[in-house]
């Protein structure tokens, strides 16, 4: 659920409204939003400190959201987020087998497919707009559907069960510990959101996540036909550890702070766009993880 004043977040939940009018206008009718976020995970950290590793694992993540939507009124609307996910990665694993000793393998591959579709509703709790300023408070709430590919989770669970069979009963261990490299998975504007995640495929559960972002901005160009604004956007994110087979992983979960510029443009009453970069100031993570080097996000929106 999200409470926001403005549209600064580049996350999946906010993709529907990330490029809607910077002046807070949402007339009734159809709209379509296209948004993109690229994040390279190429920095390896252990307990919040960078570690230099030769031939380290990595993940380059690109997620494109196609979001058709409909506003029933200026205050209420719905949207359907269709994420297209592209991952390019290298990962090293100890592969376990009941028929022989474990084998260290390195996989380098690209994957593309549909992620989890989300249906999201918007209710404008408060709105006041004038030529020189605007205040808009939107409440967003929705649900994600398990439309993404879960083969990787099934493999992770299968390897963990084989690994458990080698241990004496009751031995404590990290259910994701067989992997040697771990890669896991935005005028004044303020936004916050909280993701609640339930157990999914193969007894895997992503950790709940809290995001807060916002910052001051300035209209460089401002008239009745178009606007151009610049914003200094700060973000805080914290994610709980994932759980597999009922146990928390010691190599997931983090808290991060970001800061970066964002530019927003509106043209007429139908078109709007934004783009920004988030640079990590501090990332405190559990165990070994690959964390973001930076985040680039952009969005376009057209109201019919």
Instruction: Express as a percent the part of the chain with pLDDT over 70.
Output: 68
Residues 274-297 have a mean pLDDT of 93
Predicted pLDDT at 43: 93
End-to-end CA distance of the chain: 27
C-alpha neighbours within 13 Å on the C-beta side of residue 28 = 2
Return the ∠ at Cα 153 (arms to 238 and 240), rounded to 5°: 15
Indicate the pLDDT class of residue 204, thresholds 50, 70 and 90. low
Q: What is the CATH number of the domain that holds 169?
A: 2.40.128
Q: Quick one: which of 92, 108, 107, 93 has its CA closest to 163?
A: 93
Q: Tally the domains of the chain.
A: 1
Predicted pLDDT at 156: 60
Question: Of the ranges 59-68, 179-188, 192-201, 229-238, which one carries the lowest mean pLDDT score?
Answer: 179-188
- Taking the C-alpha atoms of residue 93 and residue 102, their distance in angstroms, rounded to an integer, is 10
Predicted pLDDT at 139: 79
Q: Quick one: which of 111, 126, 138, 107 has its CA closest to 8?
A: 138
How would you label 169-180 residue by residue, b for 16+ Cβ within 10 Å and e otherwise? Answer: eeeeebbbbbbe
177 and 159 in contact (C-beta within 8 Å)?
Answer: no
E-strand stretches of the chain? 2-5, 29-41, 43-46, 49-50, 58-73, 76-97, 100-114, 118-129, 134-144, 189-195, 204-205, 209-215, 217-222, 226-239, 243-244, 247-248, 254-267, 271-285, 288-291, 295-303
pLDDT digits (tens, 9 = 90+) for 232-268: 999 999 988 877 767 777 778 899 999 999 999 988 8
Residues 281-289 have a mean pLDDT of 91
Question: Alpha carbon of 202 to those of 129, 156, 181, 243, 303: distances in Å?
Answer: 48, 9, 21, 11, 41
Tokens 């009963």 label which residue? 169
Predicted pLDDT at 288: 85
Residues 10-24 have a mean pLDDT of 41
- Taking the C-alpha atoms of residue 5 and residue 207, their distance in angstroms, rounded to an integer, is 26
Predicted pLDDT at 191: 57
Residues 274-294 have a mean pLDDT of 93
Query: pLDDT at residue 73 above 60?
Result: yes
Compute the CA torsion angle 198, 201, 207, 209 (nearest 10 deg). Answer: -70
- Taking the C-alpha atoms of residue 191 and residue 225, their distance in angstroms, rounded to an integer, is 27
Mean pLDDT over each residue of the chain, to the nearest integer: 76
- Taking the C-alpha atoms of residue 156 and residue 104, their distance in angstroms, rounded to an integer, is 15
| pTM exceeds 0.85 | no
Query: pLDDT at residue 171 above 60?
Result: no
Predicted pLDDT at 155: 59
Query: pLDDT at residue 79 above 80?
Result: yes
Query: pLDDT at residue 214 above 80?
Result: yes
| Domain that includes residue 125, residue range | 2-303
Question: Of the ranges 212-226, 241-255, 268-282, which one carries the lowest mean pLDDT score?
Answer: 241-255
Residues 66-91 have a mean pLDDT of 91
pLDDT digits (tens, 9 = 90+) for 113-160: 998 898 988 888 877 766 555 666 777 788 888 887 767 665 565 545
Please indicate whether residue 303 or residue 60 has the higher confidence score (pLDDT). Answer: 60
Question: Of the ranges 65-74, 145-154, 293-302, which one carries the lowest mean pLDDT score?
Answer: 145-154
């Amino acid at each position: 659920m999200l409470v926001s004043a403005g549209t600064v977040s580049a996350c999946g939940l906010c993709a529907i409204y990330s490029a809607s009018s910077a002046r807070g206008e949402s007339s009734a009718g159809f709209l379509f939003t296209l948004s993109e976020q690229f994040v390279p995970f190429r920095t390896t950290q252990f307990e919040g400190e960078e570690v230099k590793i030769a031939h380290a694992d990595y993940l380059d993540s690109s997620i494109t959201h196609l979001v058709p939507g409909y506003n029933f009124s200026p205050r209420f609307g719905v949207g359907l987020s269709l994420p297209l996910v592209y991952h390019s990665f290298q990962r090293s694993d100890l592969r376990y087998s009941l028929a022989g000793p474990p084998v260290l393998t390195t996989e380098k591959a690209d994957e593309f497919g549909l992620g989890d579709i989300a249906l999201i509703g918007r209710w404008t709790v408060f709105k006041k707009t004038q030529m020189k300023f605007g205040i808009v408070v939107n409440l967003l709430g929705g649900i994600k559907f398990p439309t993404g590919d879960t083969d990787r989770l099934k493999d992770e669970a299968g390897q963990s069960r084989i690994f458990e069979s080698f241990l004496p009963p009751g031995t404590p261990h990290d259910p994701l510990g067989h992997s040697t490299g771990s890669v896991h998975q935005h005028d004044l504007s303020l936004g916050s959101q909280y993701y609640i995640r339930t157990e999914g495929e193969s007894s895997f559960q992503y950790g709940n996540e809290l995001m807060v972002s916002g910052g001051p901005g300035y209209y460089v160009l401002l008239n009745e036909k178009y606007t151009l604004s610049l914003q200094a956007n700060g973000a805080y994110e914290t994610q709980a550890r994932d759980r597999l087979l009922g146990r928390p992983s010691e190599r997931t979960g983090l808290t991060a702070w970001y800061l970066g510029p964002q530019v927003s443009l509106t043209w007429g009453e139908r078109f709007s766009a934004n783009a920004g970069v988030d640079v990590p100031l501090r990332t405190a993570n559990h165990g070994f993880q690959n964390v973001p080097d930076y985040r680039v996000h952009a969005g376009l929106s057209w109201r019919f």
